[in-house]
Structure 1
Amino acid sequence: MIKFFRKIRQNLLLENKTGKYLKYAIGEILLVVIGILLALQVNTWNENSKINKQELQLLESLQYEFTSNKNELDRSLKKSQLIQKRCEAILENTGNREMKLSKIESDSLINWGLTNIVTYDVSNGIISDIISSGKIQIIRNERIKNFLSNWNGILNDVKEDETWAVNERNNVIYPFLYKHSNYTSTTQSNSQNTEITSGFDTDYKAVYKFLEFENLANSQRIWNRKNERNYKNLKSRIEEIIILFEQEINLKK
């Protein structure tokens, strides 16, 4: 092809057709420029296609991780609601109220109500990698980027209340129960404690008369109600971001 154009230029010069030669030269330059521009355009298109593919992969990975997080959050939410119901069942029998619980029922309520703690075990592997590696810049949707950037802060608010509940269980509820209840008996329903029985017969009617016991049950109920509100708010945020992921993924496919 180059030899062909060179031959044309040589023929024009030999025929002394300078005007036509200049026009031809300008045309050839324009063709070269157009070729370069086309090559740049193709290169840009290839680069954008590569970035779009990377962004799509990130969005799909994030969608999977947040969907898993939502499912885990649903489990934590249900658990916090169950603990509240168990605490309410305890509170219906405290103080001067008539004790209607059997020993087995009381043991189960104390074990699964007062000493049970909810923690939201979130998976952050993908989002942490995206932020630490700077891959977040590949994502062009600003709402998604802002959400991902603020995700740890959103989680910290939830974890802070969970930590308070755990500390109260460890530092307040356990010391009381170790002193006034039968730990062996209350944990009898646990699969890890099926072979050991207690040598003591605990009178739970007396325990239910303690104001401190009622306060502990009510405090546990209140903490789990607060956790429930936090989980519901977090669930709304997660559902919102999952919808954004889905919209962006559909646009890029």
Structure 2
Amino acid sequence: MIGILLALQINNWNSANVATKKERGILTELSSGLKLDKSILKNALRKDSLDLIGLYSLDSLLNYPEHDNNSDINKLFGKVYGFRFVRVNTAFYEDLKSSGLQVLKDDEIRSAVVNLFEDNYVFLKDLIDQERSVNQVNRPYFLENFTNLTFQEYAKPRSIKLIWKDSYFKNLVHYRIITLETNQIKWYKKTIEDIDNLQSLISIYLNE
């Protein structure tokens, strides 16, 4: 009897040890993936934040209709046009969800993982659809009134006088500013903060 109980205890200990190693492996891999996603988001945030400054400059310049056309202004026009989104990795989470999130024993970590991927990452994934909506508004106007179009980089007006006095174009600039602030910049910042929080929880847990 004692031998059987001892064998059961050893078996339970081995099972717990295997589960712990599996969990630590998952958390380590997850943390590495989040590090890559954070780098992608930081680069996108940096670029979009600089472009937002350019868009605000353009918005201010549009109050001066006598402004001459030049390549610098064309670069500002280009920032109004084009898609802005990032691709983050959700495959690891989907695999984890399929195999069972209960492998993550710490409730706070598990909750942070679910919130990050089911909230932030879902929004980031849906950005492409939102950007299509933005492009449907901007594209016809740009194709009609600009040449030498390069997404987010350059657009040369066919008639600078027309553009400078067109209230509809001013509305397009405002629309791009609003969507850039409330979609990309807001959610990139939030996701980076949430990734930092989750990575901190993982680091503390693994080092306990």
User: TM-score if structure 2 supplies the norm length?
Assistant: 0.87
Q: Distance in 1 between matches of 2:157 and 2:199?
A: 53
Aligned to 1:141: 106
1:76–1:189 Cα change, 3 Å: closer
The two structures, once aligned, show a CA RMSD in angstroms of 2.5
Q: Distance in 2 between matches of 1:37 and 1:98?
A: 91
Residues 207 and 213, structure 1, Cα contact 8 Å, conserved in 2: yes
Aligned to 1:241: 198
Between 1:154-163 and 1:50-59, the stretch displaced more is: 154-163
Q: Distance in 1 between matches of 2:48 and 2:152?
A: 19
**Which structure: greater strand fraction?**
2
Q: Distance in 1 between matches of 2:17 and 2:46?
A: 43
Aligned to 1:152: 118
**Percent identity (aligned):** 22
Aligned to 1:119: 85
1:223 counterpart letter in structure 2: T
2:185 counterpart letter in structure 1: E
Query: Hey, which bits of structure 1, 4+ residues long, moved more than 6 A?
Result: none
Structure 1 residue runs without a partner (length 5+): 1-32, 191-199
Residues 84 and 221, structure 1, Cα contact 8 Å, conserved in 2: yes
Alignment of 1:75 with 2:40, yes or no, is no
Aligned to 1:220: 176
1:174–1:188 Cα change, 3 Å: closer
Q: Note the C-alpha offset of 1:162.
A: 5.6
User: TM-score if structure 1 supplies the norm length?
Assistant: 0.73
Structure 2 residue runs without a partner (length 5+): none
1:103–1:132 Cα change, 3 Å: same
Q: Note the C-alpha offset of 1:97.
A: 4.5
1:108 counterpart letter in structure 2: K
Residues 173 and 216, structure 1, Cα contact 8 Å, conserved in 2: yes
Aligned to 2:71: 104
**Match runs of 1:1-253 below 5 Å:** 33-100=1-68, 102-111=69-78, 113-134=79-100, 136-150=101-115, 151-160=117-126, 163-169=129-135, 171-182=136-147, 184=148, 186-187=149-150, 202-226=158-182, 227-251=184-208
Q: Note the C-alpha offset of 1:188.
A: 10
Equivalent residue pairs, number = 205
Q: Note the C-alpha offset of 1:160.
A: 4.6
Structure label with greater radius of gyration: 1
Q: Note the C-alpha offset of 1:214.
A: 1.0
Instruction: Note the alpha carbon deviations across 1:116-145, whole angstroms, 9 max, x for none.
Output: 3321211112111111122x2211011122
Instruction: Note the alpha carbon deviations across 1:204-236, whole angstroms, 9 max, x for none.
Output: 232121111111111111111112122212211
